[in-house]
Amino acid sequence: MMRTAWCFPGQGSQYVGMGKELAERFVSAREVFERADEALGAKISTLCFEGPDTDLTLTRNTQPAIVTTSLAALAALEEALDLPAPASAAGHSLGEYSALVAARALRLEDAVTVVRLRGEAMQDAVPAGTGAMAAIMGIAPDKLAEICQEAKEDEVVSAANFNAPGQIVIAGHAAAVARASKLVQERQGKAIALKVSAPFHCALMAPAAKKLAQRLQTVAVAPLAFPVIANVDALPNRDETRVKELLVRQVDHPVRWEETVRAMASDGVTHILEIGPGKVLAVLVRRIAKDIEVVPVGTPEGVEAAAKLLNKRA
């Protein structure tokens, strides 16, 4: 029996041209971009469709651009067929906002304006060059925690993303991340420095979490139409009174993506729709739960493939 879940991508999935074909083909997708443009008071649609890449990759732009494109893809899918609700949804970091809009907990307009502030706050939390992130392969989570403890000295370094088996991202002060990376390599692991603008999902993001909490005070949260698995604890949440707290904690705590996908697998999910630009999550899901089939839904062809799959179930 088919059981579906929805997943929404986070920062790093953006590319110039994303959403353009969706907006040209589907009226509902075009309306999503128009609503986002109006809410932001800026043409996020033009930035998605035409770039330039240097502007699109600025965190304050990337975050609302990805959320808008993801929700445009969802709108296109809803236009293409009578879309059944998923067993659950989740989003990788930023993608949690897309998931919450999909679950009718947040308004599109609130989501795009909040994530613009979120991007600015995360960028401003640490002076340029102070922080760093690195992808770690071949080291178990408990061993990596010991390495970070050994490397931090009087600075911050900790796990930021538990992405998939054998792939964990660390974040913190640049020097501490460098020390931890050196220890990883000495212990037969692999460390790759990441090109990022700030050290996300670690204690250095506490100022950003505080700013986000203040902004979320003005946002209304409605009952969730289906559970959204939160990044910070990898547990399905259907309690609207917890949404803001979970979003705030997410900023300076690690993303538990591997546990999130395993929770879906334990719930009997057989198919995941990756709704939004790119195919980053499809790669991770296949490493975590090989039996789950992932259908990327970020282009008209993806919408058609997902519609065909879901119509087959019906």
Minimal CA–CA distance to 23: which of 49, 62, 50, 57? 49
- Is position 88 annotated as part of the catalytic site? no
Say how far apart CA 228 and CA 87 lie, in whole Å: 9
Q: 92, 173, 201, 253: which is the annotated catalytic residue?
A: 201
Is beta strand 131-137 parallel, antiparallel or unpaired with respect to 190-193?
antiparallel
Which is it for the CA torsion 293, 299, 305, 310, positive or negative? positive
CA–chain centroid gap for 114, Å, is: 14
What is the side-by-side strand order in the sheet with 228-229?
236-237, 228-229, 89-91, 4-8, 271-275, 293-297
Residue 82: C-alpha distances to residues 3, 74, 77, 306, 314 (Å):
16, 12, 9, 12, 10
Q: 93, 98, 158, 181: which is the annotated catalytic residue?
A: 93
Say how far apart CA 284 and CA 279 lie, in whole Å: 9
Minimal CA–CA distance to 219: which of 123, 112, 121, 98? 112
Say how far apart CA 276 and CA 286 lie, in whole Å: 17
> Residue 84: what residue type?
P
Say how far apart CA 163 and CA 194 lie, in whole Å: 14
Minimal CA–CA distance to 7: which of 272, 230, 291, 268? 272
Question: Which amino acids are annotated catalytic?
Answer: 93, 201
